[in-house]
Amino acid sequence: MKTYKQIIKEYSALLREVTHIPAKEVEILLLYLLEKNTIWLHLNYEKECSCEVELKKLVQRRATQYPIEYITKQASFYGEMFEVMDGVLIPRPETEILVDKALEVLKDIKSPNVLEIGVGSGIISVMLALLIDEIEIVAVDINDKALELAKRNAIKHQVEDKIRFIKSDLFTNVPDELKFDMVVSNPPYIADDYKLPKNVKYEPSNALFGGEVGDELLKNIIDTTLEKKIKYLLCEMGYDQKKPLNNYINTHYKVQKLEFYKDLEDFDRGFFLKG
Ligand SMILES: C[S@@+](CC[C@H](N)C(=O)[O-])C[C@H]1O[C@@H](n2cnc3c(N)ncnc32)[C@H](O)[C@@H]1O
């Protein structure tokens, strides 16, 4: 007979190679399995563990570097919990900066209309809908699973009335008569031949790879946004794409403003453009 405390210690050894918080992750898996919270665990550490077989399966799955968010089916973003699922990109903390940047501009626009390209799990559109009263958003993706998940997250956060979801390859199925103040996007921006670390390989490749060079979709989004005379564009990008995108924009367009921003690790991570 083993206690929860003993089990956590024993199984965390299996996760040492995949995470720097192995014991914490075993606890997360245990609590997910038992549908309990941390306080319950602290009160029951010395009690007999009733679910060792099931826990072992989850820990072994995690030990293959399968993301913990796909096991527990949730992830936190901008202080809120979002449902996640296999086949849709897991939210990344750096994308919170994109939301902050969008808020800075949108707060000064009355009833803003926003188009999000590549909605994924819905984190960006749902957060903007939660934080801006009169906003109307059109959110597109090519991935059916992403659109379904994003809709579920919009419903979970009660903002489904503010977001219209459309299956669309970039702007293709977005009706021409819709007018937007801003396009926001965290598109796939990794070069097709880039060797991904094993944990990221479990995530959908069409959410990650942006073409032979990597910035092809970004350039397409820049071109179309400017052709359609949409005033603002805010995008996440790769740490090595500032120079090529800066050159591209300045060679082809005369824009009012172009600013690049960094993430918390000081890598170039995105840009804001006013057409
Ligand atoms: C990097 S993920 C971002 C997801 C989410 N917005 C986020 O920040 O977590 C890129 C998303 O773009 C979608 N996507 C890829 N190519 C696309 C295209 N041509 N048109 C529309 N969406 C696309 C992918 O399916 C994926 O959901």
In angstroms, what is the span from residue 88 Cα to ligand 1's centroid?
9
Residues 6+ apart with CB under 8 A from 29: 55, 58, 59, 62, 68, 71, 72
What pLDDT sits at residue 263? 97
Which of 117, 94, 93 lies closest to 261, judged by CA? 94
Structure tokens belonging to residue 108:
């000064």
- pLDDT at residue 202 is higher than 90: yes
Identify the three-state secondary structure at position 130: helix
User: pLDDT by residue (tens digit) across 95-114?
Assistant: 999 999 999 999 999 999 99
What pLDDT sits at residue 235? 98
Which of 137, 100, 97 lies closest to 119, judged by CA? 137
Are the beta carbons of 149 and 203 closer than 8 angstroms?
A: no
Are the beta carbons of 184 and 235 closer than 8 angstroms?
A: yes
CB count in 10 Å sphere of residue 35: 7
- CA 176 distance to own-chain centroid: 27
Q: How many CA atoms lie within 13 A of 90 on its CB side?
A: 18
**Torsion, CA 146, CA 151, CA 157, CA 161, rounded to 10:** 140
CA distance 176 to 21: 49
User: pLDDT by residue (tens digit) across 28-80?
Assistant: 999 999 999 999 999 999 999 989 999 999 999 999 999 999 999 999 999 99
Reported as a pLDDT band with limits 50, 70 and 90, residue 242 is very high
In angstroms, what is the span from residue 260 Cα to ligand 1's centroid?
21
Share of residues in the chain with pLDDT > 70 (%): 100
- pLDDT at residue 199 is higher than 90: no
Q: Which of 142, 147, 163, 171 to mutate to test the pocket of ligand 1 (most atoms within 8 A of CB)?
A: 142
Reported as a pLDDT band with limits 50, 70 and 90, residue 149 is very high
Which of 240, 236, 239 lies closest to 273, judged by CA? 236
Give me the chain's average pLDDT, please: 97
DSSP 8-state symbol, 49: P
Please report which helix (H) or strand (E) contains residue 223, including its range: helix 216-227
Pocket of ligand 1 (CB under 6 A): 89, 91, 95, 117-121, 123-124, 140-143, 146, 169-170, 186-188, 206-207
Please report which helix (H) or strand (E) contains residue 182, including its range: strand 182-185
Name the burial class of residue 214, with classes exposed (0-12), middle (13-18) and buried (19+) by CB atoms within 10 angstroms of its CB.
Answer: buried
Atom number in ligand 1 closest to CA 77: 9
What pLDDT sits at residue 251? 97
In angstroms, what is the span from residue 162 Cα to ligand 1's centroid?
20
Pairing of strands 80-83, 74-77: antiparallel
In angstroms, what is the span from residue 53 Cα to ligand 1's centroid?
37
What pLDDT sits at residue 23? 97
Reported as a pLDDT band with limits 50, 70 and 90, residue 1 is confident
Are the beta carbons of 218 and 235 closer than 8 angstroms?
A: yes
CA distance 157 to 192: 35
